C-alpha cells in the first residue's frame, strides 16, 4: 500500500536554484525521479535572470544556492524575492557555516540552511521538515543567531499600525530567551516564579504565532531587518 506522500498529487514540489546545470542536475538526480515523494524543477543563471523567471515556477520549497552566476552570495537576492511568494518556503544552500551568511539567510526569510558537505539523504529530510512548517537549523547555526541577537538594539515589536505586540515584561523575556537563558535563569533574572516565565512565553508564542524558541529568534530577525 502506497503512503500518501508517494502519490503524485501529494508530492512536494521543489525548485532548485544554482549557478550551473551540473550542480542542479546532481541535486535533482538525488531525488531519484520522484520515488522519494518529490517533483523537482531547476533554474540556473544569474540572480537577475532567476528572479525574472520565478513567477513561472510554482513550488512548495525553493532550494537556493548562495552563489549564482553573478557572484558569491548573490543567491540572497533570490531568497529575498521568494518572501513575496505565497505558500513557498525557502532553504539556503551554503558552502559552509559562516556566521554572517547563516544570519543573513535567516534574516532574509530562509526556513532552513543546508550545507553542501551534508548528505543528500539529509537534504530530503530537510525539505520535508521545512515543508511541514518547521525550521531546519543546527546547533552551530543557533549559536550564530544568538550571538547576532545580542548586538541588537532594544527590542520593540509592533504591528502594521505601529502598536506594540508585546508588553514591556514580555519584551524583556524575549531578550533573555534570545540571550540563551533557560526558564529558571529568566525567573532568577526577573525575580519571578518559574511558572510565571512559562506563562509569559506561552503568551508570547500565541501573540507572535510561533511555537518554539528557535522560531521566536527567527521572528525577531525578520521583524528587525538589520543586524
CA distance 124 to 30: 9
Distance CA 70, CA 56 (A): 21
Query: What is the phi/psi pair of residue 112, to 5°?
Result: -170, 160
Q: What is the pLDDT of residue 113?
A: 93
Q: Which residues pair with 38 in a beta bridge?
A: 12
CA distance linking residue 201 with residue 181, whole number of Å: 12
| Least confident window among 73-87, 103-117, 150-164 | 150-164
**Mean pLDDT along residues 74-79:** 94
Please give the sequence-ordered ranges of beta strands (E in DSSP) within 25-75, or none if there are none. Answer: 38-44, 61-65
DSSP-based three-state secondary structure for 187: helix
pLDDT single digits (tens) 145-180? 877 766 655 566 767 677 888 898 998 898 888 777
Long-range Cβ pairs for the range 30-35 (8 Å, 24+): 30/120, 30/123, 30/124, 31/124, 34/8
- Binning the chain into helix, strand and coil, the percentages to the nearest 5 are 50, 15, 35
Query: With 80 as the cut, is the pLDDT of residue 79 above it?
Result: yes
**Cα–Cα distances in angstroms (integers) from residue 128 to residues 95, 124, 195, 209, in the given order:** 21, 6, 34, 21
CB 13 within 8 A of CB 42: no
Is 6 a residue whose pLDDT tops 50? Answer: no
Contact 150, 180 (CB under 8 A): no
Crossing angle of helices 213-224 and 194-208, rounded to 10°: 50
Tens digits of residue pLDDT in 52-63 = 999 888 899 999
13/88 Cα distance (integer angstroms): 10
Alpha helices in 30-70 (DSSP H): 47-53
Q: Return d(Cα 191, Cα 90) in angstroms, integer.
A: 40
Tell me the whole-structure pTM to 2 decimals: 0.74
Confidence grade of residue 36 (pLDDT, cut at 50, 70, 90): low
Amino acid at each position: 500500500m502506497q503512503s500518501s506522500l508517494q502519490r503524485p498529487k501529494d508530492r512536494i514540489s521543489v525548485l532548485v536554484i544554482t549557478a550551473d546545470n551540473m550542480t542542479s542536475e546532481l541535486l535533482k538526480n538525488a531525488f531519484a525521479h520522484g520515488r522519494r515523494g518529490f517533483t523537482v524543477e531547476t533554474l540556473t543563471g544569474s540572480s537577475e535572470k532567476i528572479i525574472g523567471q520565478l513567477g513561472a515556477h510554482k513550488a512548495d520549497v525553493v532550494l537556493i544556492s548562495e552563489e549564482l552566476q553573478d557572484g558569491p552570495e548573490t543567491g540572497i537576492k533570490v531568497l529575498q524575492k521568494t518572501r513575496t511568494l505565497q505558500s513557498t518556503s525557502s532553504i539556503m544552500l551554503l558552502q559552509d557555516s559562516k556566521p554572517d551568511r547563516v544570519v543573513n539567510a535567516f534574516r532574509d526569510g530562509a526556513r532552513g540552511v543546508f550545507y553542501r558537505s551534508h548528505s543528500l539523504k539529509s537534504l530530503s529530510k530537510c525539505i520535508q521538515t521545512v515543508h511541514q512548517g518547521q525550521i531546519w537549523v543546527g546547533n552551530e547555526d543557533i549559536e550564530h543567531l544568538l550571538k547576532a541577537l545580542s548586538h541588537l538594539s532594544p527590542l520593540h515589536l509592533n504591528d502594521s499600525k505601529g502598536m506594540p505586540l508585546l508588553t514591556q515584561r514580555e519584551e524583556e523575556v524575549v531578550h533573555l530567551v534570545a540571550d540563551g537563558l533557560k526558564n529558571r535563569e529568566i525567573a532568577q533574572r526577573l525575580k519571578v516564579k518559574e511558572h510565571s516565565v512559562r506563562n509569559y512565553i506561552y503568551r508570547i508564542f500565541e501573540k507572535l504565532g510561533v511555537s518554539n524558541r528557535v522560531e521566536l529568534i527567527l521572528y525577531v530577525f525578520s521583524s528587525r531587518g538589520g543586524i
